[in-house]
């Protein structure tokens, strides 16, 4: 993958209608990757998770939003802490997106990027 670094904002580089801001709080499920779109992986460097912050930011910027289809393809795994979280690190989101782009399979993509420590597993793994 080619990456460019720039001090410019994605808002200045791309048309608003081409931008999809990925946030776990979106009500829209990402079903496919559209090569004509620009996907923004929002990130927070913080010890705590600020619910709805990335969704609010995207709405303020009037951007489309989407979330990964974790709930649609994965199940909550029983665990001692009863911990389940759909918020992923940027590298995990990137792994999911790049694997989906290569395989066109959400189960394969989610297996690649969502660690079991998040409390979600694919249904076939839950049976084991």
Q: Where are the domains positioned within the chain?
A: 10-121
User: What pLDDT is attached to residue 46?
Assistant: 46
Beta strands 120-121 and 75-76, pairing class: antiparallel
Q: Name the average pLDDT for the chain.
A: 88
Q: pLDDT band for position 2 (50/70/90)?
A: low
46 is catalytic: yes
Among 4, 12, 34, 46, the active-site one is 46
Contacts of 35 (CB under 8 A, 6+ apart): none
Q: Tell whether the model's pLDDT for residue 72 goes beyond 80.
A: yes
Contacts of 93 (CB under 8 A, 6+ apart): 22, 41, 68, 113
Instruction: Among 37-41, 63-67, 73-77, 84-88, name the one with the lowest average pLDDT.
Output: 84-88
User: What pLDDT is attached to residue 47?
Assistant: 42
29-61 residue pLDDT tens: 999 999 999 999 876 544 456 678 888 999 999
The predicted model gives 113-119 an average pLDDT of: 89
User: What pLDDT is attached to residue 49?
Assistant: 60
Domain at 10-121, CATH class: alpha beta
Q: Which residue carries 């791309």 as its tokens?
A: 14
Q: pLDDT band for position 107 (50/70/90)?
A: very high
Beta strands 64-66 and 19-22, pairing class: parallel
User: What pLDDT is attached to residue 126?
Assistant: 56
Q: How far is CA 61 from the centre of its chain?
A: 18
Alpha-carbon span 69 to 54, nearest angstrom: 17
User: What pLDDT is attached to residue 67?
Assistant: 95
């Amino acid at each position: 993958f080619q990456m460019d670094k720039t001090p410019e904002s994605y808002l200045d580089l791309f048309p608003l209608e081409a931008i999809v801001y990925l946030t776990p709080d979106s009500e829209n499920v990402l079903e496919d990757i559209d090569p004509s779109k620009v996907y923004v992986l929002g990130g927070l460097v913080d010890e705590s998770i600020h619910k709805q912050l990335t969704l609010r930011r995207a709405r303020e910027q009037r951007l489309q939003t989407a979330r990964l289809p974790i709930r649609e393809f994965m199940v909550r795994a029983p665990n001692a802490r009863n911990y389940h979280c759909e918020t992923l690190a940027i590298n995990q989101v990137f792994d999911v997106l790049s694997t989906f782009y290569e395989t066109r399979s959400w189960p394969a993509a989610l297996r690649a990027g969502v660690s079991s420590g998040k409390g979600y597993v694919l249904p076939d793994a839950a049976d084991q």
